[in-house]
């Protein structure tokens, strides 16, 4: 009998080269006192709402499969965001919906860079070619170059995260409109951070049959539910539903989502607080020596440092504050991303950052 290691090596050799060439998506799980790296809502629900939620979850029959279409949750989301529930697909996070889009349309897949990493990771995992187009110096779209590359490559899908992660800005309406008007690809506008921008392409959905809009419940306080939302024209929704995995939104997430979304006042108050805190944080960072802060329409701020950003991130982590290190060659050299936290967390972040910069 051959050693198990040899058998394992042979099995690994059967895995598609596109998968073996990838690196796993890594999440820093270091225990810290302040977590500002993952664009999560820092506020928990009020005690009364939590009690109501617990009562709802106690009644969920987990011995049965969940509602296959998530009808009640769709209706709650449709009411929140003024969407048509019949033109909606729910995903186990936006990641599942991104995967479904790429599975359905195939590639080439075109993405501006820098942007949300999962567009490219998922495309490569599915053996679809990826075409990248650098953003301009102001991190806005170069619509002319993007359209040219889309035509040359015969791109089937274009992903536009607007507002964009990790840069924080919303792409100009003029550039997005030009892309929608001048390409034959499916144009996916990922509005994960819509709630912090207040601007959307949703009212234009009927005008552009090539447009798909993504949103998520994660950024408004429900990241643990893993609920992504897609809306598009009837034809696209019908085709994507063919490859949506059955029972993809579990019963607990559906029940919790319906219950939580009834508390609009709480949700809106938390969003307003985060927008206010973002403004305060940006104003302080903009005046801080050695720091360039970029304007944001999200729940995070992109920073560029004059010193080594990776060193600063490590020192912050040593002080118990976790932020995202984006430092690397290219447009994000010496860049960090900080999620907007509670007022107390933001003050502690600023105090610690100032101490690190003063002693550098």
Least confident of 16-20, 184-188, 294-298: 16-20
Share the mean pLDDT of the chain.
96
Structure tokens, 7: 């058998």
Query: Within 13 A of 296's CA, how many CA atoms are on the CB side?
Result: 33
β pairing state of 291-293 and 227-231? unpaired
Q: What angle do the packed helices 47-58 and 251-260 form, to 10 degrees? A: 140
More confident residue, 1 or 137: 137
| pLDDT score for 327 | 96
| pLDDT score for 151 | 98
Residues carrying CATH 3.40.640.10, the chain: 58-262
| pLDDT score for 245 | 95
Alpha-carbon distance values, 164 to 56, 205, 212 (Å) = 35, 20, 16
- Planar angle of CA 154, 156, 161, nearest 5 degrees: 120
Residue 4 has pLDDT above 80, yes or no: no
Residue 120 has pLDDT above 50, yes or no: yes
**CATH 3.90.1150.10 assigned to 17-45+265-358:** yes
CATH topology of domain 58-262: 3.40.640
Signed CA dihedral, 94, 96, 101, 107: sign only: positive
| Pairwise CA distance, residues 17 & 322, whole Å | 34
Question: pLDDT over 90 for what percent of the chain?
Answer: 94
| pLDDT score for 30 | 87
Residue 147 has pLDDT above 60, yes or no: yes
pLDDT (mean) for 224-232: 98
pLDDT (mean) for 114-122: 97
pLDDT (mean) for 328-335: 95
Residues carrying CATH 3.90.1150.10, the chain: 17-45+265-358
| Pairwise CA distance, residues 72 & 65, whole Å | 15
| pLDDT band for position 33 (cuts 50, 70, 90) | very high
| Pairwise CA distance, residues 267 & 255, whole Å | 17
Residue 2 has pLDDT above 80, yes or no: no
| Pairwise CA distance, residues 246 & 249, whole Å | 9
Residue 145 has pLDDT above 80, yes or no: yes
| pLDDT score for 27 | 87
- Per the CB < 8 A criterion, the answer to whether 214 and 115 are in contact is no
Query: Within 13 A of 6's CA, how many CA atoms are on the CB side?
Result: 3
pTM comes to 0.94
List, in sequence order, every residue forming a beta bridge with 89; answer none if it has no partner. 230
pLDDT (mean) for 328-334: 95
| pLDDT band for position 1 (cuts 50, 70, 90) | very low
How are the residues of the chain apportioned to helix, strand and coil, as percentages rounded to the nearest 5? 45, 15, 40
Residue 3 has pLDDT above 60, yes or no: no
Residue 274 has pLDDT above 60, yes or no: yes
Token pair 């003024």 in the structure block, residue:
82
| pLDDT score for 8 | 87
pLDDT (mean) for 272-301: 98
Question: pLDDT over 70 for what percent of the chain?
Answer: 99
């Amino acid at each position: 009998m051959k050693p198990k290691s040899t058998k394992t090596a042979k099995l690994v050799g059967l895995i598609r080269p596109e998968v073996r060439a990838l690196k796993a998506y890594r999440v820093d799980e270091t225990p810290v006192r302040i977590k500002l790296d993952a664009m999560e809502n820092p506020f928990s629900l009020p005690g009364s709402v939590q009690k109501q939620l617990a009562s709802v979850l106690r009644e969920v029959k987990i011995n049965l499969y969940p509602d296959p279409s998530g009808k009640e949750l769709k209706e709650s989301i449709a009411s929140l965001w003024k969407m048509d529930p019949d033109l909606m697909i729910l995903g186990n996070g936006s990641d599942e919906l991104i995967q479904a889009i790429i599975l359905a349309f195939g590639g080439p897949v075109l993405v501006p860079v820098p942007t949300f990493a999962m567009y490219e990771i998922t495309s490569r995992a599915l053996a679809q070619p990826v075409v990248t187009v650098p953003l301009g110096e102001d991190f806005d779209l170069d619509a002319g170059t993007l359209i040219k590359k889309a035509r040359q490559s015969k791109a089937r899908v274009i992903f536009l995260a607007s507002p964009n992660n990790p840069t924080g800005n919303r792409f100009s309406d003029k550039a997005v409109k030009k892309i929608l008007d001048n390409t034959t690809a499916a144009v996916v506008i990922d509005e994960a951070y819509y709630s912090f921008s207040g601007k959307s392409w949703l009212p234009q959905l009927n005008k552009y049959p090539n447009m798909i809009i993504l949103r998520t419940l994660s950024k408004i306080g429900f990241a643990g539910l893993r609920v992504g939302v897609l809306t598009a024209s009837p034809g696209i929704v019908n085709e994507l539903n063919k490859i949506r995995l059955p029972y993809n939104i579990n019963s607990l997430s559906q029940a919790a989502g319906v219950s939580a979304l009834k508390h609009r006042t709480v949700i809106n108050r938390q969003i307003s607080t985060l927008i206010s805190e973002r403004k305060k944080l940006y104003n302080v960072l903009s005046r801080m020596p050695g720091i360039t802060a970029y304007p944001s329409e999200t729940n995070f701020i992109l920073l560029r440092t004059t010193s080594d950003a990776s060193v600063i991130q490590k020192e912050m982590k040593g002080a118990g504050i976790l932020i995202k290190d984006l430092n690397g060659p290219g447009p994000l050299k010496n860049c960090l991303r900080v999620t907007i936290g509670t007022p107390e967390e933001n003050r502690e972040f600023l105090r610690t950052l100032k101490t690190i910069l003063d002693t550098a």
